A and B are shown apart, each in its own frame.
Chain A
């Protein structure tokens, strides 16, 4: 394996009494699309903003292409591009002016006209930033992140709050970045996004990486298992469901029961019999293969989103 382009070792960050990061470590290889997946408040943004040089960690070490974001100054800024989560541009700046302005800061430049075309902003080139829709603002933010042909691109929740169509457009752009062998680090709390876009994913919770691997590797933790989610007319003790034939795991989640079974038919027969004996009824039953959501559930006992 060659030297990783992103090296993160044991990052710790506190905000007053809150420990936002409690020893985050991971490495990303050049050309990888790497995802940080976790619920809101898990420490994703803190991690990315430390990597971008916007925040200073209390301890730990970061190297991006061998450079320290805190010490390497402009040399570091020249090679990164980023979409921030909470940011804006001046309301009265036109789209084309924003691209021209930001590209003037860099020694390597991508043609702004080509970026306008690629991001479907040609019609809006003379529009003020303040008059753009949410999706257009995000596309402009992505275009600005790429004006310097960066080696590493950071995307902090690039699709949060966008409608499905814009989200798909952004997926296409990330796919293109992968094909262009760019290194991308993105944060998300959408399972689909992580599964679909990322070569590897670090699942992060309460400021720690709790699992790391390709989406497939992560899901193999639950290999051979099937997920059965049931809702019942009356609550059950989960202890009883765990005893059913074929069940290896059972968790209660917001009123429904998530069973992991290695032998689905037997489990379902046993379940129905059990419910009959208890005089309980089945309200709904859903069978699926486990997703990253289940990996998260298994690791933390909570759902990813909420």
Chain B
């Protein structure tokens, strides 16, 4: 792990020179921000901007897995990884530098989003900023590691894009990040208990809207912490330097094992937990009392 920091610096430089990275880490999240806060906030009660900001921050964090997976697959396809393999650089340093550089570059976007929310969209409260920081940090590691796993079980960038699109749609639409869980059918709400982003979205909305304490969002923090550790270890296990190394069946099983913590958590949440009800409660909290549905003119 000795060379992680020098690699991290180089990776940050490369990311900033990469158009795809700028798109996924800056353009896309900011577009979500303007669409969500510009259009939907006016339908909601005070706290609505915070509620929507939570969703946008979650999308920003989740975007990590897009850029990283594509980049790693390209590095492998072009034979860049094997050049690094000749040097005393381990898989751990390679993967950790991916995640750390991504994290450092995600933070400014988060700050910009806060600033825009405050000064353009009149954010009326800061919420629990420590909670925001903790969730963003754990979330970035988790979703970045997911990206690295996808990179290890796909062979070409096209394949990676297909898998990413699939995962992204599920994460986007079934976790409360776009459609609040409260308005989804009961069956889909149940499914959300098993999805990693649900913890991120719900956690962020709770710390932002009602300034929930770290202790109050412990379930979300714990889920993301477990997810990040398991996903990182599995990404180390699956890492491939060489383009012609085949993806083994064992690797696919390992990749699927990434979901185990979330399956277990989901089972527990479904039976005893409050993830879903918290998500629904926080949505209710920002609804206008008098007029729940159609927007005022």
Q: Which residues of A contact B (CB under 8 A)?
A: 52-54, 73-74, 77-78, 80, 82, 84, 86-90, 92-93, 97, 101-102, 104-106, 144
Q: With contacts A87-B79, A88-B83, A89-B80 known, is A78 near B10, CB below 8 A? A: no
A84 to B7, CA, bound (A): 21
For A94, give the chain B residue with the smallest CB separation.
B13
Q: How far is the CB of A107 from chain B (nearest CB, A)?
A: 9
Q: Which residues of A contact B75 (CB under 8 A)?
A: 90
Q: How far is the CB of B17 from chain A (nearest CB, A)?
A: 4
Q: Which residues of B contact A106 (CB under 8 A)?
A: 87-88
Most chain B CB within 10 A, of A77, A78, A101, A144, is at A101
7 A-B pairs closest in CB distance:
A74-B88, A92-B17, A87-B79, A77-B88, A104-B6, A105-B87, A88-B78
Please determine whether B88 and A54 come into contact, CB atoms closer than 8 angstroms. Answer: no
A80 to B88, CA, bound (A): 10
Q: With contacts A84-B79, A87-B83, A90-B80 known, is A104 near B3, CB below 8 A? A: yes
Q: How far is the CB of A1 from chain B (nearest CB, A)?
A: 29
Q: How far is the CB of B98 from chain A (nearest CB, A)?
A: 13
Q: How far is the CB of B90 from chain A (nearest CB, A)?
A: 8
Please determine whether B89 and A105 come into contact, CB atoms closer than 8 angstroms. Answer: yes
Q: Which residues of B contact A87 (CB under 8 A)?
A: 79-80, 82-83
Please determine whether B14 and A82 come into contact, CB atoms closer than 8 angstroms. Answer: no
A52 to B10, CA, bound (A): 25
Q: How far is the CB of A125 from chain B (nearest CB, A)?
A: 15
- Contact residues of A: prevailing secondary structure: loop
Please determine whether B87 and A77 come into contact, CB atoms closer than 8 angstroms. Answer: yes
Please determine whether B79 and A88 come into contact, CB atoms closer than 8 angstroms. Answer: yes
Q: Which residues of B contact A92 (CB under 8 A)?
A: 13-14, 17-18
For A90, give the chain B residue with the smallest CB separation.
B14
Q: Which residues of B contact A90 (CB under 8 A)?
A: 14, 75, 80
User: Which B1-39 residues have a C-beta within 8 angstroms of A?
Assistant: 3, 6-7, 10, 13-14, 17-18
7 A-B pairs within 8 Å (CB atoms) are namely: A52-B86, A54-B82, A73-B88, A86-B82, A93-B14, A104-B3, A105-B87
A105 to B83, CA, bound (A): 12
A3 to B270, CA, bound (A): 68
Q: Which residues of A contact B278 (CB under 8 A)?
A: none
Interface residues on B, range: 20 to 34
A82 to B83, CA, bound (A): 9
A104 to B3, CA, bound (A): 8
For B87, give the chain A residue with the smallest CB separation.
A105
Query: Does B85 count as interface, using CB distance less than 8 angstroms?
Result: yes
Q: Which residues of B contact A77 (CB under 8 A)?
A: 86-88
Question: Given known contacts A82-B86, A106-B88, what 16 new A-B pairs fall within 8 Å (CB)?
Answer: A53-B86, A54-B85, A54-B242, A77-B87, A77-B88, A80-B86, A86-B79, A87-B80, A87-B82, A88-B79, A92-B17, A92-B18, A93-B13, A101-B10, A105-B87, A105-B89
Q: Which residues of B contact A53 (CB under 8 A)?
A: 86
Q: Which residues of B contact A104 (CB under 8 A)?
A: 3, 6
Q: With contacts A90-B14, A92-B14 known, is A78 near B79, CB below 8 A? A: no
Q: Which residues of A contact B79 (CB under 8 A)?
A: 84, 86-88
Please determine whether A102 and B87 come into contact, CB atoms closer than 8 angstroms. Answer: yes
Most chain A CB within 10 A, of B6, B18, B82, B88, is at B88
A300 to B215, CA, bound (A): 77
Please determine whether B78 and A97 come into contact, CB atoms closer than 8 angstroms. Answer: no
Q: With contacts A93-B14, A104-B3 known, is A84 near B80, CB below 8 A? A: no
Indicate which residue in A73, A84, A97 contacts B83 across the interface (CB closer than 8 Å): A84
Q: Which residues of B contact A73 (CB under 8 A)?
A: 88
Q: Which residues of B contact A144 (CB under 8 A)?
A: 83
Q: How far is the CB of B18 from chain A (nearest CB, A)?
A: 7
Most chain B CB within 10 A, of A74, A77, A87, is at A87
A90 to B81, CA, bound (A): 10
For A76, give the chain B residue with the smallest CB separation.
B88
Most chain B CB within 10 A, of A86, A89, A105, is at A105
A93 to B13, CA, bound (A): 8
For B93, give the chain A residue with the smallest CB separation.
A105
Please determine whether A84 and B6 come into contact, CB atoms closer than 8 angstroms. Answer: no
For A80, give the chain B residue with the smallest CB separation.
B86
For B244, give the chain A residue with the smallest CB separation.
A15
Q: How far is the CB of A80 from chain B (nearest CB, A)?
A: 7
Indicate which residue in A52, A78, A84, A101 contacts B88 across the interface (CB closer than 8 Å): A78
Q: Which residues of A contact B18 (CB under 8 A)?
A: 92
For B86, give the chain A residue with the smallest CB separation.
A82
Please determine whether A84 and B17 come into contact, CB atoms closer than 8 angstroms. Answer: no
Q: How far is the CB of B22 from chain A (nearest CB, A)?
A: 12
A203 to B3, CA, bound (A): 39
Q: How far is the CB of A45 from chain B (nearest CB, A)?
A: 12
Please determine whether B6 and A105 come into contact, CB atoms closer than 8 angstroms. Answer: yes
Q: Which residues of A contact B17 (CB under 8 A)?
A: 92
Please determine whether B86 and A54 come into contact, CB atoms closer than 8 angstroms. Answer: yes
Q: Which residues of B contact A105 (CB under 8 A)?
A: 3, 6, 87-89
A244 to B18, CA, bound (A): 70
User: Which B68-108 residues have a C-beta within 8 angstroms of A?
Assistant: 75, 78-80, 82-83, 85-89
A28 to B63, CA, bound (A): 51
Q: How far is the CB of A47 from chain B (nearest CB, A)?
A: 16
Most chain A CB within 10 A, of B13, B75, B82, B83, is at B83
Q: With contacts A84-B83, A88-B83 known, is A93 near B10, CB below 8 A? A: yes
Q: How far is the CB of A238 from chain B (nearest CB, A)?
A: 42
